[in-house]
Structure 1
Amino acid sequence: MRPVPTDAEAWNAYLAEGNAKQARKRVSADVVLRDDRGRILTVNPTYKDGWDLPGGMAEANEPPHRAAVRELGEELGLAITINRLLVVDWVAPHGPWDDQLAFIFDAGTLSPGIAATLRPHDAELSEALFLPAPEAAARLRPRQRTRLRAALRALGDDPTRYLHNGEEPWQI
């Protein structure tokens, strides 16, 4: 028998049981961060092939925008401000991985002094470079390349983009 909301203890146990059966999603949170010349910050992870946008995986129950702020602090020693959401990409299960929600946020522009001295702060990154958008995109893996292009379109004309495996779902 289903408990009633007025029995708080039984109701919360009932809800917790339902919550335990719900799907869990992996969440990544990356940023588009530019220098004063409009170049895009890219990073070279040591734990996988290819370059990335700066950011990383959210921890359990961590909001995506806070994950991006935390990751840039840990990996690059930056204290950034998130300006707005640019892209959400639902990534289908692949290889050993379940599905994922990939967020890209606008983190604005770094001052020339900070951009000139930017270096990796932990062993997860070997390099951090500001590159013109076409060069940055060329270094990224295909799915992230399409996310970056969508993020740049969102920066240019304002609407947040929703993607499905890197593509706009109504164009698949």
Structure 2
Amino acid sequence: MTTHPRPGTAEWDAYLAEGNAKQARKRVSADVLLRDAAGRLLVVKPTYKEAWDLPGGMAEANESPEDAARRELREELGLAVALRGLLCVDWVAPHGPWDDQLAFIFDGGTLSPGQISGLYPHDHELSACEFSPSDEALTMLPPRTRQRAAHALRALAEQRPVYLENGERSVP
């Protein structure tokens, strides 16, 4: 019979650290749907990708998806936005050199005219940002992001978050 160390001891902490080191790690991205008063979507043009993207980015170590989304908006666009909830989470299978990923999209609501008037790329990762009608914005996104964003738009309209696997609903 294996005995485990007692909680609160140095041995317990070492036991937990060993388990933590062996657990799987997931990449996490956190994007945000932001709209203007006309309902158009904000899309951004990264300098390191060919296609346009949704505002947001990758979470850092020990950073929650919501915190990552808020940080990315602040760093890249100078925006401070209160997120209004989760629209979708998508498990993305390993592809190319990448391990699997959890991709979140949050509702950032409608930006005020003041927020929009001061909107421009604030760091070297973005070269442009613009509002486009949602159908046009979707065509600007790469296929994986387009699928996820389309589901997020439906989730926004239905007021119900959705779980996806590789951009598809896993449950009808």
SS in 1 for 2:80: coil
The aligned counterpart of 1:164 is 165
Matches within 5 A, 1:63-102: 63-102=64-103
Q: Give 1:49 shift.
A: 1.4
Matches within 5 A, 1:5-16: 5-6=6-7, 8-16=9-17
Structure 1 runs not aligned, ≥5 long: none
Task: Please say if residues 27 and 102 of structure 1, whose CA atoms lie closer than 8 Å, have aligned partners that are also in contact.
Answer: yes
The aligned counterpart of 2:61 is 60
1:46 aligns with 2:50: no
The aligned counterpart of 1:116 is 117
1:145 aligns with 2:146: yes
Describe the shift of the 1:93–1:114 C-alpha distance in structure 2 as closer, same or farther (beyond 3 A): same
The aligned counterpart of 2:22 is 21
Q: Distance in 1 between matches of 2:12 and 2:45?
A: 48
SS in 2 for 1:49: coil
Structure 2 runs not aligned, ≥5 long: none
Q: Distance in 2 between matches of 1:170 and 1:156?
A: 18
Describe the shift of the 1:7–1:161 C-alpha distance in structure 2 as closer, same or farther (beyond 3 A): closer
- For these two proteins, the number of residue pairs brought into alignment is 171
Runs of 4+, deviation exceeding 6 Å: none
Q: Give 1:159 shift.
A: 1.3
Task: Please say if residues 45 and 126 of structure 1, whose CA atoms lie closer than 8 Å, have aligned partners that are also in contact.
Answer: yes
Give the TM-score taking structure 1 as reference length.
0.95
Which letter maps to 2:64?
A: P
The percent of aligned pairs where both chains have the same amino acid is: 63
Q: Distance in 1 between matches of 2:33 and 2:149?
A: 8
SS in 2 for 1:121: coil
The aligned counterpart of 2:156 is 155
Task: Please say if residues 2 and 14 of structure 1, whose CA atoms lie closer than 8 Å, have aligned partners that are also in contact.
Answer: no
Give the TM-score taking structure 2 as reference length.
0.95
Q: Give 1:6 shift.
A: 4.5
Q: Distance in 2 between matches of 1:63 and 1:113?
A: 28
Q: Distance in 1 between matches of 2:7 and 2:117?
A: 60
Task: Please say if residues 26 and 101 of structure 2, whose CA atoms lie closer than 8 Å, have aligned partners that are also in contact.
Answer: yes
TM-superposition CA deviations, 1:23-82 (whole Å, max 9, x none): 000000000000111100000000111010000000000000000000010000111111
